Copies of this chain bind each other. A is one copy, B any other.
Amino acid sequence: MDAMKKFVQKDAFARHIGVEVLEHGKGTARARMEIGNNHLNSAGMVHGGAIFSLADAVFSIASNSHGTLAVAINVSISFFKAATGGTLFAEAEEVSINPKLATYLITVTDDAGNKIALFQGTVYRKKDSIADIVK
């Protein structure tokens, strides 16, 4: 199995909260999360932390897709619409990349195509090889 596939499978927190990765490539990734009772907050809506974590999972895959370790240094997320059930989707797009830093936009939508949140995240790119990390 290639290093990136192993990297995706090793994300224990993403698995714990039900993130299912649909596809990934250089600088991109797409995932879904079926909403269950465990994802809800005190007001019965999908928890901001669950939405962020879904987006963060594809952010991690997209930013680590170039073969070396990327660590998140800053994220800003705007929430547009409360979600209460169904399935949420997150898709990452690479906005900018240089040897040290890279920035991604991740859009979270519901199954009707409504925008739920927009996540803008920046990573610091280290030298460590992903192949070594997943060994």
Q: Interface residues, chain A, CB within 8 Å of chain B?
A: 7-8, 10-14, 16-17, 37-45, 47-50, 52-54, 56-57, 59-60, 64, 69, 71-82, 95-96, 98, 100-101, 103, 105, 115, 118, 120, 122, 124, 133-134
CB atoms of A75 and B76 under 8 A apart: yes
- For A120, what are the chain B residues with a Cβ–Cβ distance below 8 Å? 76, 78, 118, 120
Q: How far is the CA of A37 from the CA of B11 in the complex (A)?
A: 10
Q: How far is the CA of A39 from the CA of B90 in the complex (A)?
A: 20
Give the residue of B42, B75, B101, B105 whose beta carbon is less than 8 angstroms from that of A48: B75
CB atoms of B74 and A48 under 8 A apart: no
Q: With A75-B48, A101-B124 in contact, is A16–B13 under 8 Å at CB?
A: no
- Output the residue of A37, A40, A77, A81 with the most chain B CB within 10 A: A77
Q: With A96-B118, A120-B76 in contact, is A56–B47 under 8 Å at CB?
A: yes
- For A98, what are the chain B residues with a Cβ–Cβ distance below 8 Å? 80-81
